Amino acid sequence: MDKLWAPWRMEYIQDTRVKTEEGECIFCHLAKQTPDDKSLVLARGKESYVVMNRFPYNCGHLLIVPYQHTANLSDLSKEGQQETIWLLDKSLQILEECMKATGFNCGLNLGKNAGGGILDHFHWHVVPRWQGDTNFLPVLAQAKPMPEYLSETYKKLEKGFQNLGEVR
């Protein structure tokens, strides 16, 4: 029997924490990290930042996260709301250019019954899609093969985000 090797998934399966060991919200912690392939932070704005999902649904799965720790979009300032949407739009453009994505799933999990893993810190999910990117594994084996390591995807996207320009 062939084996599907996905070593990064075990950390997610075993980890129910959404806080650092010091008790800090993981998104608040990431907000202070240097953009690099360890933190997976790709870009910073004045109100929010872009980070790769450490446990992605697909290659290039990004999160747009405001610096403000809040569960509600309506709690963000007008500028904060505008910047998250601007970064969302720029992320789509960069994923098209750097990853050759041909479609996207973008969304929010708001509230405890929405299925999100981090309830207290609002964030957007941006999941790039390609023709034929799904198969029987997610349905039958509840597994998703990832064709490259996060560090390789980071290198591809880093170039696009370096040219992001001024955040509006």
Judge whether 151 and 37 are in contact, CB under 8 Å: yes
Judge whether 58 and 127 are in contact, CB under 8 Å: yes
Judge whether 50 and 85 are in contact, CB under 8 Å: no
Pick the catalytic residue: 61, 121, 123, 125? 123
- DSSP state, residue 162: H
- Reading the block at residue 11, the tokens are 């950390």
Active-site residue flag, 123? yes
For the chain, count helices (H), then strands (E): 5, 5
How buried is 22 (Cβ within 10 angstroms: 0-12 exposed, 13-18 middle, 19+ buried)?
A: exposed
Judge whether 88 and 126 are in contact, CB under 8 Å: yes
Judge whether 20 and 26 are in contact, CB under 8 Å: yes
Catalytic residues: 123
